[in-house]
Each structure stands twice: as C-alpha cells, then as structure tokens.
Structure 1
C-alpha cells in the first residue's frame, strides 16, 4: 500500500517537473528523434496545454454529472418513473455516436475551438454517471430507507440526507469512469482547434517525430492513472464513512 502510494507521488512529481521544465528530459526524448528533430515539443507550452486539457475535461464532466445525476433522481421518484426509458435513451446518445462524429456535427453549428469538444465529451460522459447513479439510488439498504420513513422524513429529506450520501460512492465510481474516458477522448479535440494535449500528438504524427507523440501520450496516460487512483481513494473513504466498505469486503 505504502509502496504504491510512493510510486504515485513520484510519478506526480516527475510529471510536474516535466511540465514546468521539460528541457530537463531532453536527453531521454532525443532517443526517439531523428535527423535533428527537436526532442521537446516546441509549438506551445506543455503546462498550458495540460491545464487547458484538464479544464475542458473538468467542465464537460461537471456538466455531465449535473445532468446525469438530475435525470437519475427524477426517474427514481414515483412521478418520474415513466421517464426512465427516455432518460436512458438520452444518456446513451453519447455512446451511440463516436466522439469524432459528434465533433463533425457540432463544428458547423458551434465553429472550431473548444465548444464542439465540450459537447462531445459531455455526451460521451453521460451514460456511466447516469447508470451508476441509478444503481446507487435503487439499491439502497431497505432497512435504512424504512427507518428514514419511520422517523417522518419527507421525500426531499430522504433524498438529501439518506439516499444521495449512501449512493455517493457508486455515483463517484461513474464520475471516475467518465473522467478517465474524457481525458483520453479530449485529445481528438485538437482536430477541431481545441487546445488540448492532442496538439502534441498530432504535431508528432505530422512531423514523424516519435518524441512528440510519446510526450503527449505519456502526459495523458499519467494524468489518467493519477486521477483514477485519487477518485478511487476518495470512493473508499466515502464507503468507509457510510459503512459500505466492510460489507463490500465481506
């Protein structure tokens, strides 16, 4: 456990150093260049691209979370149960159309830049969050919900004070999956002029510079692993607080 944590801390430190002082690693990346090609991406700041990439992913994931959790809450209430098939169809839209197709459809309406990428990531991130929220809200311990009703809680009070806190670890698992998917998928946003780490990969492909491709891929990969692990740890903390960790282990 401690060894794994130390490895993750080390990976984070190396990533930060690389983003702030990429020239420090020039000797390593020169191994992947040829004919005097630059070893470090030189068409923009790697730190700026990484922060912009993360901002796009965070914005899209936040929007997807608000909509998906809201839909799941509505369809798990008595008045909204009949809308479950429609809500599930809406959440499936992003998985039905590949992100590239969404970008192609969005560009004529929204123009080039960040907006089409946000739409593609938002649609692609809906399903995992919606399904996990639905699972979390429909698989609550009956004894707990019955006790909440027994003490006279209203439906709104049960939702806020009992149902959502108990379902939060499962919801967070959906957000974790959606975030990791979006981190990788956001790279294609550079094909429509969004400022993401896809710029580095595309520049490497166009110039046949493996070092650039490797840099873009490594940054995205390390970010995905670190964010996945951080959200997993948060999920375990929430499960422990609600007493679900022991039941899961059993």
Structure 2
C-alpha cells in the first residue's frame, strides 16, 4: 500500500509530511496555550499573545491567497509555456521569458505600491503581485519539461496516428510532469513566504502578527506568525515531494 494509510506507526513518526502537519495543527490551534510561555520569555510585554485575529482564520486566509495566486500562475504560466513550445508560438518565447523574469525581479512590494492606488486595499493587489512573482518557475519548467521529451518518442506517437492535442496530453505532459511539478513546487513555496507582505495592504494573512509585532516592537507576535508560516511551508513542500514521487512513477508507467 502507498501513502499514509499504508505506513507503519514508526514510519508515521518519522514522515516529514505527517510531522509537519502535526506541528502546523498544534501551532494554529494550540497557540493560546503557549501564552504563559511567551509571557515568561517576554515579561515586559503587556500582551504576549496576538489575539486580534484567530490564528486559524489567518491561516485559512493565507492559504486561500497562496492557492488562488498559485493557481493563476499555473494556468497562465503553464498555458503560455505550452504555447511557445508549439510551432505556431515559438517566436514569442523570448518575449514570454523576458516578461516572466521581469515579474520575479520586480519586488512584490513595488507591485503592491503600484496596484493599491488603482485597485484599493485588500487581497486583490496582493493576488496580482504573488501571481506575477510565481510565473517564472512555472514558465521555465513547463518549457524545459516539454522540450526534454525525446524526439523519438514524439515521432513514435505521431507514427501511431496521434494528433497534436493527443500527443500533448497523452505523451508530452505525462513525461514532462515531474519537471513541471518542480516549477509549481518552487512557485507555491515562494508564495507561502511572500504572501506575508500582503498584510501591508490590508489583506488578512499570517503576516499580520509579524507586521504588527515589528511596528510595535513585540517580538512575541513576530515569532508566532513566523512559526506558523514556516510550518505551513514545510507541509506544502513535503506534500509536493510526495506528489513528485507519484508524478515520476506516472510518467514512467
């Protein structure tokens, strides 16, 4: 058996995904129980625990923002990457790679600063900034994965009578899946950390206690937000690691 259901108890105790999930749940739901600990570590603070918003609510909002921006980057970057590997789209490859590179080199904070006067405060400008920031790894890995498919395999597929779309979905994408997934993994993990800055423009994310803590010289708030962001990043990275192993087996089957 594969997956968590087929693991022995000892394996569950050493599995990175299971340990990360346990830590994340414990931090999100059990942070109030750590109030005495933070009060001891920071005795000069009147409020050693961030209580303006529920950590569960902030985590869900953070995950929603990361999920939406990553999905947009996957659809846009993946679609564009596929397009420029087709004969009719090759001439646009240079332009696409330039735009994707600009999207990541342009700081998300600068994108937020430009978007807020036009769109207003909230999650929308953060969604734009995170989507642009996640495009480059998706685009690059989609192109690399598709171009890495052996020409002999493509010739064989066409020799069997497959049309262009059938070759793409039945041959190219399955074989390129591990490489494409690596780019998606990079994009999502980057967005988990970068989404924290969205709270500077009014979006509710796990960056809120961090920013409030920095502004108010409250180190406890900063640690609380950072711990949950780090645990979330570990869980997502471990989940992608497991998904990558499955994608590799699928591409080889």
Normalised by the size of structure 1, how large is the TM-score? 0.92
- Which ranges in structure 2 are unaligned for 5 or more consecutive residues? 1-9
Matched residues in 1 for 2:21 and 2:223: separation?
Answer: 17
Specify which of 171, 176, 179 is matched with residue 167 of structure 1: 176
Partner of 1:186: 195
Matched residues in 1 for 2:251 and 2:40: separation?
Answer: 50
Deviations 1:91-147 (A, max 9, x none): 122123111110001111110110110000000000000000000000102332121
Partner of 1:88: 97
Deviations 1:193-226 (A, max 9, x none): 1111111101111222211100111111111111
Q: Quick one: structure 1 residues 39 and 15, their matched pair in 2 at CA, closer, same or farther if it must change by over 3 Å?
A: farther
SS at match of 1:34: coil
SS at match of 2:89: helix
Normalised by the size of structure 2, how large is the TM-score? 0.91
Runs of 4 or more consecutive aligned structure 1 residues displaced over 6 Å after TM superposition: none
Matched residues in 2 for 1:36 and 1:227: separation?
Answer: 33
Q: How many residues are matched?
A: 244
Matched residues in 1 for 2:74 and 2:17: separation?
Answer: 27
Matched residues in 1 for 2:241 and 2:191: separation?
Answer: 17
SS at match of 1:21: helix
Matched residues in 2 for 1:167 and 1:52: separation?
Answer: 32
Q: How much does 1:36 deviate? A: 4.1
> Does residue 1:110 correspond to 2:119, yes or no?
yes
SS at match of 2:88: helix
Q: How much does 1:28 deviate? A: 2.8
Matched residues in 1 for 2:107 and 2:191: separation?
Answer: 13
Partner of 1:248: none
Q: How much does 1:243 deviate? A: 2.0
Q: Quick one: structure 1 residues 24 and 226, their matched pair in 2 at CA, closer, same or farther if it must change by over 3 Å?
A: same
Deviations 1:66-108 (A, max 9, x none): 0001111111000111111111122122123111110001111
Deviations 1:128-184 (A, max 9, x none): 000000000001023321210110101111001111111111111101000111111
> Does residue 1:70 correspond to 2:79, yes or no?
yes
Q: How does 1:39-78 map to 2 (within 5 A)?
A: 39-78=48-87
- Which ranges in structure 1 are unaligned for 5 or more consecutive residues? 245-250
Conservation of the 8 A alpha-carbon contact between 2:28 and 2:56? yes
SS at match of 1:229: helix
Partner of 1:99: 108
